[in-house]
Amino acid sequence: MATLFISDLHLSGERPAITEQFLRFLAGPARGAEALYILGDLFEAWIGDDAVGEEQRPILAGLHALRETGVPIYVMHGNRDFLLGPGFESMSGTCLLPDPTTIDLYGVPTLLMHGDTLCTDDTAYQKFRRMVRDPQWQAALLAKTPAERIALAREYREMSATETAQKAETIMDVNQEAVAQTFREHGVDRLIHGHTHRPAVHDLNIDGRAVRRIVLGDWYEQGSVLTCTAQGCELECL
């Protein structure tokens, strides 16, 4: 058996083919897993547990059906779906994880993150992240009507797309010192994260210690999954 990791699916009604691929994944390969971890940005947008759209209901049902087969599902907030809450957990049968979280993955201490906090060179984004993760800001947003939240989400997406187009690629990638400091702080041998959409396996030397950083792929054009067993981990395209 294997433990599966995915991230950055950005599921939305605008990309139904990817939603269908994800549902096939839940009904197929994921059925035999020891656990499934979704490390952020499952949805392109999540405006609150009280405002589930019709395009999201099959996804919640697919997750719940997988959980009912005995496969535990763990979900981490991303920068697009940071409003996932207890209602989402109930509807999907999943368990929300703090970012970061350390697990024992077949004897290897492994740190799980969405990955956006590693991109410290993008100071504008980090400022925005601090704002939207503030509980008071979130409470004020959730007090608005769903229609108002949809309009704000659309505004933030357009603003993000404009700003991203103007930024250098290196600014939006992880900062290497932030990565090194993360390994030091958590004392792990392996880090798995998403966010950057740059799937790769990086073997590093941190203060004389061999460690590995695995970056998950996105699901824009095709599915991407990291399969881990006691023998190791492998990035695959679906």
Strand partners, 76: 39, 97
On the question of pLDDT at 164 being above 70, the answer is no
Calculate mean pLDDT across residues 27-36: 96
Calculate mean pLDDT across residues 177-193: 97
**143 phi, psi to nearest 5 deg:** -75, -15
Both tokens of 103, joined, read: 């697990």
Q: Write down all domains in the chain, each with its CATH number in brackets.
A: 3-237 (3.60.21.10)
DSSP, collapsed to helix, strand or coil, labels residue 111 as strand
Which of 46, 39, 30 has its CA nearest to residue 7?
39
Which amino acid, one-letter code, is at 77? H
On the question of pLDDT at 171 being above 70, the answer is no
Kind and range of the H or E run holding 203: strand 200-206
39-80: pLDDT as tens digits: 999 999 999 999 999 999 999 999 999 999 999 999 999 999
Calculate mean pLDDT across residues 163-168: 65
Neighbours of 181 (CB within 10 A): 14
Both tokens of 68, joined, read: 């009912």
Task: Report how far residue 112's alpha carbon sits from residue 83's, in angstroms, rounded to the nearest whole number.
Answer: 19
On the question of pLDDT at 176 being above 90, the answer is yes
Which of 104-134 are b and which e, b meaning 16 or more Cβ less than 10 Å from the residue's Cβ? ebeeeebbbbbbbbbbbbbeebeebbeeeee
